[in-house]
Structure 1
């Protein structure tokens, strides 16, 4: 390899070479002392005064060189350019070459002029010794080597050649290879040192990069030897484990460091047993990864790898944020976000855990609570208020449940509670019913006060018979039974409920088939004028004859249809059948059809009625549509709009069962109503109860003041009819006093019979 020149080596290496020239100044003091002493001896031996002059020259050059050295020491080398470094190299080379020149001149003068063997020997010996030292001191500058070698050897060679002594001339020529060898040795030293400087610099750079990477890792790192002593530790490890002196941890035992070096990071100032075992397993290689909780606010995840030579590398990171996020996600998965109660899935898990932890068997209960009329709260007060009501219910549920009962939210407005009965009380049913009763009461939300009741269904079973897939079915059956009985009641599951449920489900399937196939019947109850002389209208009543069970009462199958959401199919069937049948009736007899709350939730009913009228050819004025007050409670604006559209087509609108709902009088003024059908409850006992009769009269007076047509339902006796006729309370009478519901063929016969009777009466009157 060619020795590097100052033009090719990096600037920092060039500076290091030049700096080496200005180092090791003790050799300069030794050299100048030897040189001066030597020339003093030569002077004393030869009495040649030139050697005294040369001694002064040595001293002068030495002083100048020392001054240059001090200037170099004081210079700011960090800002040196290559030109600055070359300038300092030149200064040094001039001083070194001057010293070498004095030695060469002294030796040449001794050979050529003095010609004293002792003087020649002393001068040449000192000069050659100095040349040997040139390699060790001046390897950093090729210029210094070349000039000093030339300055030492050239005067000797010239003097030997001019002495005309053959052997001296031959020997002097030998200085040429000696000088070249010296030069080559210096170059070799410089090349070797250059390689080492470059290698050292690269190693230093690699070490710096490694150290930078190591100490800027997001993970903590320990490297342990086979004896569990720390070889390497990075800054992040010290931060995570609260170590303050990173450099002092090297060669310390890892267990000791963890136990005593970071006491404030651990519980009670030392590693808990679990953490200590986990660390031991990691270091031994029996565990490759583990999560360690050092305190409530710090989770570290460790992974370990073990090399063949026994060195263990531990890498760990702070996963506290991740653990918190995972716990938050787990909480979101397990708990209802609105009430903070466990959801259904987690409730089942908790119940299983409680049952698995039991040592003995006992009776346990699960209660399902359903908020009565919760939809009414949402519709009247808004969903925000409804949600806050659920939160208030959840809080009361937690308070009443305490630690002995496990509450949860199933879905919507349904809640569930598990009674583990850990004290093995025999009367667990009374505890369930007591909690159900305690939940009923007043809830204050957003300056609103709600009187809330709950329908409840519960199942009591042996703790060993608990089946997650069965408990809700049984509790729901009990809840369904409670709702059928009365809102706000609580029912326990009984085995016959299961049979009734299966039977009801079968009835639902059969009803769906009957509605889809049109296998329903339409019966008609005539509505007469008070004198009974004419049928004004007939109310269409749906009937269903089951192929196996026979006739199913309307209050049962209509309720089932509403639960299933298929009551609209019954309405469509009845409107089409009623319009078609009414079109075949003689005279101007009208037909009346009942609409359900579901029918009035969209404008579809308007299209259904229009299609039925077009298909049958029935005049719109002969079709009456009846709505109950319960239909008007939800979405009042939508109902008003739909009824207005129907009335605009010429259809008569009637309120059925008037007086049995809420705010009845307000409906008379705000809705497009033509007819008021007063409920049968106002007719009952009017012949014996004067207060009830006065109430009926008041309703009639109010309705007539609003120009409404009055139909009184449920007139069953002649006494009731006589009192109503005498007081002129009704425009139309509907009840068993005149007729029960009849088939459409019989309606035709009744209309024709009444027409013939009226014709006969008129004939007799004329006669």
Structure 2
């Protein structure tokens, strides 16, 4: 594909979105060229067969190597890259896999980079224990990682500026307090017991764990703590060296990436991955006799909207439809699983009446004209549904059964839905005679 000008313009917008998140060691023109290359690779990955997730992950890693490491980089990038959907059309749906791979590559490289930095700090700290006091103080006072020193009884003797800032306490209020006071009150028991049971019992070693901390203003955060028992020597008594790296932002980033991996970026609805995971959990927890419902809904005439009004209008129409469907599907789970395809999940207990009521509501909701970009767009939908015993089934078979019903509903005409009734003596994917309702 040839989109050189489009890529150059989009790269400039991407650079504007992320350049102020940190120091980038290159001129802006060079960064534009770098991002243009990334866009070319992402577009190629979206149209490749199979999808080029490895190359997309490499692009994510290279963003980190370009020093774009602020947690805002990913969210700003996803916003800036939205126009890429039109460039790679008709492969727009595959762009989600590409952006997901980019997120994974970015996160893995970011965590690896931070791990290397932390390892360098641990090495420097170990050297400082055996070096002159002045050399240790340079590291102690200037590092951004929290460091505390406690005596052999576990009482705080000293705390560097980073630790004092993390806890919001001056040194005078930290000195003499038990080491467990450095972490959140709910985690103090675990820290105390592990220091006593693992370090003190052995007389040496390092304990690593991730626990919360509490700021003096009432806020909370997370930190990765390394607690080392330094044995006594001829020149000094034994002491505890505590090193803490604030992991609050990293955990927030991981949580956001987890959310993004399980939600559709356009509509915000759960995606196919979350739907499958939720169904698997329901199947695992099902009791004998529990029944589950599944409805596979597809819009009629959506391609004509894209062809007539453009993909931007089509995307806004999909967002409006998703909002309506979610409102009328409550409290059931609604997911977007493809371009104009949605699935509604009915957890146990479920029966045909419950599915029919919701199916009628959804078709009526879609049929009502939808205002988009000053237009009043009219579309309809078809829905295939299945109600079956959940024990002993699997998610993919249930989706296949509902999907088959969808195709039969579409064959019957717009604004229709078809209900599959599985035979009791066969697997749930087999169906009895269809029930078709307007």
TMscore range, shorter length: 0.5 to 0.7
1:254 aligned to 2:182?
no
Q: Where does 1:265-304 land on structure 2 (aligned, <5 Å)? A: 271-272=185-186, 275-284=187-196, 286=198, 288-292=208-212, 294=214, 298-304=221-227
Post-superposition CA distance 1:274-308 (Å, at most 9, x none): x2233225533656222426477622222223344
Equivalent residue in structure 2 for 1:207, among 125, 133, 146? 133
Match of residue 62 from structure 2: none
1:353 CA displacement: 3.3
CA displacement 1:52-109 (0-9 Å, x = unmatched): xxxxxxxxxxxxxxxxxxxxxxxxxxxxxxxxxxxxxxxxxxxxxxxxxxxxxxxxxx
**Over residues 298-329 of structure 1, what are the superposed CA-to-partner deviations in whole Å (9 max), with x where a residue is unaligned?**
22222223344563322112122222222222
Q: Is the 8 A contact 2:288 2:391 kept in 1?
A: no
Specify whether residues 371 and 291 from structure 1 end up closer, same or farther in structure 2 by C-alpha distance, changes over 3 A only.
farther
For 2:341 and 2:226, locate their aligned partners in 1 and report how far apart those are by CA, in whole Å: 46
TM-superposed deviation, 1:431: 3.1
Root-mean-square deviation (Å):
3.0
> Which of 156, 162, 178 is the aligned partner of 1:236?
162
Between Structure 1 and Structure 2, the one with more helix by share is 1
| Pairing of 1:605-620 with structure 2 (within 5 A) | none
State the TM-score, normalized to the length of structure 2.
0.58
Correspondence for 1:220: 146
Distance 1:389 1:292 in 2: 44
Secondary structure in structure 2 of the residue aligned to 1:218: coil
Q: How does 1:572-583 map to 2 (within 5 A)?
A: none
Aligned to 1:316: 244
2:334 aligned with 1:410 = no
Which of 278, 281, 288 matches 1:350?
278
- Please tell me whether Structure 1 or Structure 2 has the larger radius of gyration of its CA atoms: 1
**1:443 maps to which residue?**
370
The structure 1 residue matched to 2:228, chosen from 305, 310, 326, is 305
In the aligned structure 2, how far is the partner of 1:359 from the partner of 1:495? 18
Superposition pairs of residues 622-641 of structure 1, within 5 angstroms: none
State the alpha-carbon separation in 1 of the partners of residues 148 and 429 from structure 2: 66
- Residue 354 of structure 1 and its aligned partner are, at CA, apart by 4.5
Aligned ranges for residues 676-755 of structure 1 at < 5 Å? Answer: none
Provide the rounded CA distance (Å) in 1 between the counterparts of 2:219 and 2:319: 30
| Structure 1: distance between partners of 2:141 and 2:419 | 68
Change (3 A) 1:252 1:291: closer
Task: Kindly indicate whether structure 1 or structure 2 has the higher relative contact order, using CA contacts under 8 Å at least 6 residues apart.
Answer: 2
Over 6 Å off, 4+ runs: 496-500
CA distance in 2, matches of 1:296, 1:345: 34
Q: Which residue of 1 aligns with 2:409?
A: 482
CA distance in 2, matches of 1:358, 1:495: 18
Structure 2 residue matching 1:338: 3-state secondary structure = coil
Distance between the aligned counterparts of 1:450 and 1:280, measured in 2?
64
Q: For 2:173 and 2:429, how far apart are their aligned partners in 1?
A: 76
**Distance in 2 between residues matched to 1:207 and 1:293, nearest whole Å:** 29
Q: Which residue of 2 aligns with 1:56?
A: none
Structure 1 residues 289, 344: closer, same or farther in 2, change over 3 A? same
CA contact (8 A) 1:282 1:289 kept: no
Distance in structure 2 (CA, Å) of the matches to 1:297 and 1:447: 46
1:612-648 deviation per Cα after TM superposition (whole angstroms, max 9, x unaligned):
xxxxxxxxxxxxxxxxxxxxxxxxxxxxxxxxxxxxx
Secondary structure of 1:487's aligned partner: coil
Is this contact kept in 1: 2:384–2:405, CA < 8 A?
yes
Unaligned runs of 5+ residues in structure 2 are: 1-130, 199-206, 233-237, 432-438
Q: Please give the per-residue CA displacement for 1:210-234, whole angstroms capped at 9, x wherever unaligned.
A: 2232021111112233321123321
Is the contact between residue 367 and residue 417 of structure 1 (CA under 8 Å) also seen in structure 2?
A: yes
Q: How many matched pairs?
A: 281
Alignment gaps of 5+ in structure 1: 1-204, 260-265, 501-767
Pick closer, same or farther for the CA change 1:449–1:278 going to 2, 3 Å.
Answer: farther
TM-fit CA distance, 1:341: 0.7
**What is the CA–CA distance in structure 2 between the aligned matches of 1:329 and 1:482, rounded to whole Å?**
36
Following superposition, the deviation at residue 248 of structure 1 comes to 5.1
CA, structure 1 residues 430+319, in 2 after alignment: closer, same or farther (shift >3 Å)? same
- Kept in 2, the 8 Å contact 1:436–1:490? The answer is no
